[in-house]
């Protein structure tokens, strides 16, 4: 971890004041905005707490790209291989976005707000500029904008009890990847059962940054009875859980099929979208690599800030893109792109970590059990 | 300065190994890539050294968006209010990019490589996705890509002597914002007389990341006779010099006229581009605010990580977007957006810096003298 120089360009969020007061120990930068990365003495402590209690996460960097107007549904459909035709108001859909070569541009969650208004809750690339370019180029009748919406995630097994007590029992009825509404200080706010962990929880899409501190404080106060702590997406939990990160596990070099996103891709020709021909060709020829888990031995591995070669003998058969020590599995765990001939679970490999070590490892499925 | 968590998503550059070996003390993140922010004991030491000697800067984050094909010139022209029709191969042009409302999307330098091939050397937003969207939407016959090009800047008064000795006297003939070519290890590399300082110098657009360490080492070795040091864009020097930063001084909330970029905007209707009608309307009505300097007193100011209100009495008349202590001027200096009624040089103002202080200041032109 090295120093991050602050400037206006690296945008603060409505919750940054509170995050700093609570002792954040580091940030990342996503969508030109601060994302906290650690609070407790270690990522391990954050991990154990998340699995047992409840955490409040500033995920404002999940910016919303609002697409609104008569051509909104057509534009969103053009951007993704997933069939959005059956989506209903109240649904959240994971919608990979691909380019003309089927390379991944982003993997947002789409929230259908009405028949002509959508939010794309994006990972780290300027989907707003892409959507704006498509709309201008094709002359579509839509507005593309970034509303003043800053998601706050409440994650962990106690999240539902905490939020039901604070905002009403009705939130228990919200299904997975569905959204509902809560009242806060005279405003109506969107709440979804979603989040970047496997421990359950919700995301509140706060509209109105001026309410950020008040929302944080209300949840923090009610959370005292649940042993709440400040937190953030946890690298151990996400690697174990098989949650992928755009820019790490997938880039424009990757197609959605090799990332295991085939179930979100319509390949039968019933839906038209950018990259369809390329994706159909890849599907018919079969993918040549696939995302897998790799558990590997040795001391806790260093930070993975560049791909690590995965070897079988003298041959590179893949690369690890994220890795960390799992205190629960008592092993290093990584997410890796592995060539077809070697992706079967149980394949022995060697991992060249960036500290110069060579470590023995084994390919597995995801999530890690 | 807080910690930056590293991951593959925050891309390393061909020079990061050397930058780390030379004791970089902090980074920023631009275009999903590391940008070093300080090397010496302080930004002040870097500043004095830059003004007197020569520095080597890893500015790989100035990514190139390559636009190539029969419609390349048409697409680039559509993206910018600057008339690119008279540009010649060998020219570098500063080309603001604006949206349909004339809001700034980026402010790259365009390099014309041939009649049908351009690089846009971009600031911090995904212009590649915007250009790709425009091209797909309009059905243009172009390829849009990010080539393996990593600029390395050699800045400071001794830069020309250093590079002429290393690569040949012909580089002295390269005019300001023109480019030429050098030979390096059997490859031909583009070199421009440009850079993000007012101290003179060049940028080498290294094509082929595998050559990064060798290029760095060759310049470093030859630079020993010129007291070379590792460096980076210097906040004191850029604020004094009136160099603006996309995301700091300008966002999509700003039009190019209020940023002083009117000379790059064709308003007579002879060129068609996105946002022309909006920009013509702003020009005819007159801008309501303008970028200025503000010098202000008190102890060296804190880091400016959010806009600071600039007040006249009880009224907010503008905001400071970047600020730092200038050891040469023995004053704090800032770049600020100031309302029309108050933008005259000499206007007294009060600055509310984010440490809670109120400081007396005065509006000035840019650059600071």
Range 290-349 of A in CB contact (< 8 A) with B: 303-307, 321-322
Report the mean per-residue pLDDT for chain B: 97
Min Cα separation A226/chain B (Å):
29
Average pLDDT over residues A157-170: 98
- Is residue A41 within 8 angstroms of chain B, CB to CB? no
For residue B19, give how far its alpha carbon lies from the nearest alpha carbon of chain A (Å). Answer: 12
- Is B186 a member of any domain? yes
Inter-CA distances, A310 with A207, A318, A323, B63, Å: 44, 5, 12, 29
pLDDT beyond 50 at A194 = yes
What φ, ψ does residue B158 adopt, rounded to 5°? -95, 5
Task: Please indicate, yes or no, if residue B274 is contained in any of the structural domains.
Answer: no
**CB pair distance less than 8 Å for A134 and B133:** yes
Which candidate, B59, B75, B56, B79, places its Cα nearest to that of B67?
B75
Q: Is residue A140 part of a domain?
A: yes
CA atoms of B165 and B56, how far apart (whole Å) = 16
A130, A194: one domain:
no
**Per-residue pLDDT, B53:** 98
**Mean pLDDT across the stretch A33-52?**
92
Number of structural domains in chain A: 3
CATH of the domain at A87: 3.30.70.1400
Residue B101 tokens, joined: 């409302």
Residue A245 reports pLDDT greater than 50:
yes
pLDDT, tens digit, for every residue of B139-183? Answer: 999 999 999 999 999 999 999 999 999 999 999 999 999 999 999
One domain, residues A55 and A178:
yes
Q: Are residues B235 and B157 in the same domain?
A: yes
pLDDT exceeds 60 at position B188: yes
The verdict on a CB contact (< 8 Å) between A130 and B133 is yes
Residues 6+ away with beta carbon under 8 Å from B86: none
- pLDDT one-digit tens code per residue, A131-142: 999 999 999 999
- Residues B46 and B186 placed together within one structural domain of the fold: yes
Predicted confidence (pLDDT) per residue in B50-86, tens digit:
999 999 999 999 999 999 999 999 999 999 999 999 9
Instruction: Single out the residue of B183, B191, B181 nearest to residue B152, CA to CA.
Output: B191
Q: Which domain holds residue A171?
A: 16-62+148-239
Q: What is the pLDDT of residue A2?
A: 61
Confidence of residue B1 (pLDDT cuts 50, 70, 90): very low
- Interface contact flag, B10 A305, Cβ < 8 Å: yes
Single out the residue in B87, B115, B145 at which a domain terminates: B145
If one counts every other C-beta atom within 10 angstroms of the C-beta of residue A158, the result is 21
Could you tell me if A59 and A233 are in contact, meaning their C-beta atoms sit under 8 angstroms apart?
Answer: yes
Residue pointed to by tokens 């966002």: B251
> Is the domain of A179 the same as that of A106?
no
Q: Are A189 and A152 in contact (CB under 8 A)?
A: no
φ, ψ dihedrals at A271, nearest 5°: -130, 140
Q: How many CA atoms lie within 13 A of B248 on its CB side?
A: 22
Q: Rounded CA gap, B191 and B171, in Å?
A: 8
- When mean pLDDT is compared across A229-243, B35-49, B175-189, the lowest value belongs to B35-49
> CB distance from B353 to chain A under 8 Å?
no
Which residue has 């890539």 as its token pair? B33
Contacts of A158 (CB under 8 A, 6+ apart): A53, A54, A226, A227, A228
Of A1, A8, A246, the CB nearest to B248: A8
At B186, is the secondary structure helix, strand, or coil?
A: coil
User: What does the alpha-carbon distance between residue A313 and residue A296 come to, in Å, rounded to a whole number?
Assistant: 16
Q: Residues 46..105 of A with a Cβ closer than 8 Å to B: which?
A: 99-100, 105
Decide if B3 and A6 are in contact by the 8 Å CB cutoff.
Answer: no
Pairing of strands A92-94, A143-145: unpaired
DSSP string, B58-104: E-TTS-EEEEESTTHHHHHHHH-SS--TT--TTBEEE--EE-TTS-E
- pLDDT at residue B42 in the model: 87
Q: Pick B126's closest partner by Cβ from A2, A28, A129.
A: A129
Chain B residue with minimum CA distance to A125: B126
What pLDDT was estimated at residue B320?
Answer: 98
Q: Is the peptide bond before B367 cis (omega within 30 degrees of 0)?
A: yes
C-beta of residue B81 within 8 angstroms of C-beta of residue B62: no
Q: Which of A104, A121, A145 is the last residue of a domain?
A: A145
Place of tokens 């000795």: B165
Please compute the mean of the pLDDT values over residues B76-98 and round it to a whole number.
98
Q: What is the pLDDT of residues B11-29, one digit of tens each?
A: 999 999 999 999 999 999 9
- Cβ-Cβ contacts under 8 Å, A131 against chain B: 133
Q: Give mean pLDDT, residues B34-38.
A: 94
Share of residues in chain A with pLDDT > 70 (%): 99
Question: Mean pLDDT throughout A66-87?
Answer: 98
Q: Indicate if A323 and A338 belong to the same structural domain.
A: yes
Q: Which of residues 258-297 of B touch A (CB under 8 A)?
A: 274
Instruction: Convert the pLDDT of each residue in A20-29 to its tens digit.
Output: 999 999 999 9
Residues B36 and B153 in one domain: yes
Taking 80 as the threshold, does the pLDDT of residue B2 lie above it? no
Mean pLDDT of chain A: 97
Average pLDDT rounded to a whole number, residues B249-275: 98
Residues A68 and A116 in one domain: yes
- How many secondary structure helices (H) and strands (E) does chain B include? 8, 22
Contact B3 A10 (CB under 8 A): no
Is A12 within 8 Å of B306 when comparing Cβ atoms?
A: yes
Pair (B50, B70) in one structural domain: no
List the end-to-end C-alpha distance of chain B, in Å, as a whole number: 29
123-142 of B, contacting A, C-beta below 8 A = 124-127, 129-140
> What's the pLDDT at A1?
41
Question: Is the domain of B30 the same as that of B113?
Answer: no
Evaluate whether residue B266 is within a structural domain: no
Q: A245 at the B interface (CB within 8 A)?
A: yes
Indicate if the pLDDT at residue A128 is higher than 90. yes
Best of B1, B7, B120 to disrupt the A interface (most A CBs within 10 Å) is B7
Q: Which of A192, A191, A185, A230 is nearest to A210 (CA)?
A: A185
A124 part of a folded domain: yes
> What is chain B's alpha carbon radius of gyration, rounded to the nearest angstrom?
21
Q: Which residues in chain B have Cβ-Cβ distances shorter than 8 Å to A239?
A: none
Output the pLDDT for position A259. 98
Domain membership of residue A161 (yes or no) is yes
Residue A316 phi, psi dihedral angles, 5° rounding: -80, 125
Domain boundary among B145, B175, B191: B145
| CATH code for the domain in which residue B156 is found | 3.30.1360.120
Nearest chain B residue (CA) to A39: B3
- Give B9's contacts (C-beta < 8 A, 6+ positions apart): A28, A124, A245, A246, A247, A248, B32
**Residue A50 placed within a domain:** yes
Please tell me which of the candidates B133, B245, B305 has its beta carbon nearest to residue A129: B133
Among partner residues B3, B125, B129, which is closest to A4 by beta-carbon distance? B3
Q: Is residue A232 domain-shared with residue A164, that is, in the same domain?
A: yes
**Strand B228-231 and strand B54-58: pairing?**
parallel
The two structure tokens encoding residue B234: 């210097």
Is residue B154 domain-shared with residue B45, that is, in the same domain?
Answer: yes
User: What is the structure's pLDDT at B23?
Assistant: 93
Number of other CB atoms surrounding residue A21 within 10 Å: 10
Pair B358, B352: CB distance under 8 Å: yes
* A185 lies in some domain: yes
């Amino acid at each position: 971890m090295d120093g991050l120089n602050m400037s206006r360009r690296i945008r603060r969020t409505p919750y940054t004041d509170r995050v700093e007061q609570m002792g954040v120990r580091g940030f990342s930068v996503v969508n030109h905005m601060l994302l906290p990365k650690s609070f407790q003495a270690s990522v391990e402590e954050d991990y154990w707490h998340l699995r047992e209690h409840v955490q409040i996460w500033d995920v404002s960097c999940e910016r919303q790209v609002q697409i609104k107007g008569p051509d909104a549904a057509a534009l969103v459909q053009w951007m993704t291989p997933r069939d959005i035709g059956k989506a209903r108001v109240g649904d959240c859909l994971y919608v990979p976005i691909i380019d003309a070569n089927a390379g991944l541009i982003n993997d947002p969650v789409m929230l259908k707000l009405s028949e002509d208004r959508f939010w794309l809750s994006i990972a780290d690339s300027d989907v707003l500029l892409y959507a704006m370019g498509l709309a201008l180029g094709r002359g579509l009748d839509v507005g593309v904008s970034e509303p003043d919406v800053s998601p706050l995630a409440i994650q962990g097994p106690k999240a539902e009890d905490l939020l039901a007590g604070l905002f009403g029992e009705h939130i228990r009825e919200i299904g997975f990847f569905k959204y509902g509404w809560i009242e806060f200080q005279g405003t109506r706010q969107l709440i979804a059962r979603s989040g970047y962990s496997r421990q359950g929880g919700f995301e509140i899409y706060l509209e109105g940054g001026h309410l950020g501190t008040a929302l944080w404080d209300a949840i923090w106060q009610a959370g005292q009875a649940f042993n709440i702590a400040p937190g953030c997406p946890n690298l151990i939990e996400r690697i174990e859980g098989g949650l992928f990160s755009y820019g790490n596990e997938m880039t424009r070099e990757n197609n959605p099929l090799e990332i295991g996103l085939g179930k979100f891709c319509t390949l039968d020709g019933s839906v038209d979208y950018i990259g369809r021909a390329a994706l159909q060709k890849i599907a018919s020829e079969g993918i040549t690599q696939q995302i897998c888990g790799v558990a590997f031995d040795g001391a806790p591995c260093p930070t993975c800030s560049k791909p690590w070669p995965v070897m079988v003998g003298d041959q590179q058969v893949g690369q690890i893109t994220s890795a960390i020590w799992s205190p629960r599995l008592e092993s290093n765990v990584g997410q890796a792109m592995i060539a077809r001939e070697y992706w079967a679970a149980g394949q022995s490999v060697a991992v060249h970590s960036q500290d110069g070590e060579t470590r023995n490892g084994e390919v597995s499925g995801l999530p890690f059990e």
